[in-house]
Structure 1
Amino acid sequence: MSNNAKFAEIAALAGDPGRASMLNGLMDGRALTASELAQLAGITAQTASSHLTRMTDAGLLAVEKQGRHRYHRLASPAVAQMIESIMRIAAPGVAAKPVRTGPRDAALRAGRTCYDHLAGHLGVAITDALVDAGHLDLGLDAGEVTESGRALLDSAGIDIAALSAARGRILCRPCLDWSERRPHLAGAIGAALCSHCFERGWITRVDGTRAVTVTPNGQRQLRETFGVSLS
């Protein structure tokens, strides 16, 4: 396909009102299901599925599988930049319609365990802080702790060498968060961080649920140790 033909294909895909609504709805960086995107665009699930397939084939979207669910996200920063540029011309100052995801329970949304690691706003905030500080490189399918990250975790009392030597488990990987629809940290390091927070009393369990709360000391320690802001 020539460059001009590809240009025309991308322009036509982005130009459909339903597809444009879905693309704009993904601009906050989250990954959404086909049904959520259908609701956002005000179209049927069957129509949304067709649109999503075409946009994925064209390289506008990427699909991530998590259990039995399929989540759709923008394929690259270049796609986001294209959409942002179009929106600046088409509708300056108009925000995308918000999509609510995950549990309605505020405590579960704020922080919870996902098997043996931390999820919700808390889990994503810790992950973001580590990535932003250069302590963690996290891709779509895998992650790696940098030298500065190893030093930070070792100083915090998490034995990275022992975790690395243990067999049968990935050291570091992303896990798509149910409510935030952005990655939180899983793998051996994610589990170690979760245990670390419990052992030091930085977080406590909410009886009868997977929800956790951050103690006042925990908020201070997470901020001072890992640069985490929970505001």
Structure 2
Amino acid sequence: MKEGPPIAHVASLIGDPARANMLTALLSGKALTATELAHEAGVSQQTASSHLTKLLDGALLQMRKQGRHKYFALANADVASVLESLMGLAASDSAPRTRTGPRDVAMRHARVCYNHLAGKCGVQLFESLRNRDFVGQDAEQITLTDRGRDFMRDFGIDIDALQVQRAPLCRTCLDWSERRTHLSGSLGRAMLARMEELRWIKRDPDSRVILFQGEGAAAFAQTFRI
């Protein structure tokens, strides 16, 4: 049998259920320990260690040491984007599915995707920016317009500071539940952080769900109106 293309190896790494659970647990943007990831995958620590070694060797994860602990995180935003796209592809399967409980409804509404906003609210945010000419889109290339810069500064985001970073300012990410585009990149991360600063939202500590609090939902709807 011929050796497959490089994607075959990456697909085999993601395709194992235990490793898939570990990778999706890291979509929140948090770094987790091997023990925490073993719990997420439902496997023993020894088995988790073997899986983590394969994911590190495959450049899907990065590891950082702090004191006596080792923390694992997704290697980069490209890995997060691939995972989100694959989840969308899986969700598009036409086979009958059982609609799961309230937490999944909340996940579809608003969730964290590698430290930017995803779900229905993430798509609404992007559509609002695009419809009001705050961002321009050419194929998959997203650019912030002059009007968009003014809006972001008024919103409390230091665009000049973001632009000196190595990370792209604006990127597209295909939302797995909505199957439409939401905004990622350093701007997407900064906007989520700003909404947290304004106390519009808070993160559910036990999942990737984003919860609106107080008048946050009304403020979001007004600021990012379609």
Which TM-score bucket, shorter chain as reference? 0.5 to 0.7
Distance 1:143 1:192, change over 3 A: same
**Alpha-carbon spacing, 1:70–1:213, altered in 2? closer, same or farther (3 Å):** closer
Q: Does 1:217 align with 2:215?
A: yes
CA–CA distance in 1 between the matches of 2:191 and 2:159? Answer: 11
Aligned mate of 2:192, from 191, 194, 197: 194
Deviation at 1:129, TM superposition (A): 0.7
Tell me how many residue pairs correspond in the alignment. 139
The separation in 2 between residues aligned to 1:151 and 1:111, in whole angstroms, is: 26
1:69 alignment partner, SS class? helix
Q: Does 1:69 align with 2:67?
A: no
Match of 1:116 in 2: 115
Please tell me whether the aligned partners of residues 111 and 123 of structure 1 are also in contact (alpha carbons under 8 angstroms): yes
> Secondary structure of the equivalent of 2:183?
strand
1:141-160 equivalences under 5 Å are 141-160=140-159
Corresponding residue SS for 1:194: helix
Q: Which of these residues, 170, 173, 177, is aligned with residue 172 of structure 1?
A: 170
Match of 1:30 in 2: none
Give 5+ residue unaligned stretches, structure 1.
1-64, 73-96
Distance 1:154 1:103, change over 3 A: farther
Q: Is the 8 A contact 1:137 1:145 kept in 2?
A: yes
Larger radius of gyration: 1
Does the aligned pair in 1 maintain the 2:162–2:187 contact within 8 Å? yes
Conservation of the 8 A alpha-carbon contact between 1:103 and 1:109? no
What one-letter code is carried by the residue in structure 2 that aligns with 1:66?
Answer: V
Match among 187, 196, 204 for residue 206 of structure 1: 204
CA gap of 1:132–1:180, structure 2 versus 1, over 3 A, is: same
**How far does the alpha carbon of each residue in 1:71-121 deviate from its partner, in whole angstroms, 9 at most, with x for none?**
78xxxxxxxxxxxxxxxxxxxxxxxx9x98x98610100100001100001
Structure 2: stretches of 5+ with no match in the other structure = 1-80
Shift of the 113–103 alpha-carbon distance from structure 1 to 2, 3 Å rule, reads farther
- What is the DSSP-based 3-state SS (H/G/I as helix, E as strand, rest coil) of the residue aligned with 1:180? coil
Corresponding position of 1:22: none
Cα distance per residue 1:164-218 (max 9 Å; x no partner): 122x200001100010010100001000001011111111112300001122421
Q: Which amino acid counterpart does residue 156 of structure 1 have in structure 2?
A: F
Structure 1 residue 70: Cα displacement: 9.5
CA distance in 1, matches of 2:132, 2:124: 12
**In the alignment, which residue of structure 1 is the partner of 2:127?**
128
- Report the 3-state secondary structure (helix = DSSP H, G, I; strand = E; otherwise coil) of the residue aligned with 1:198: helix
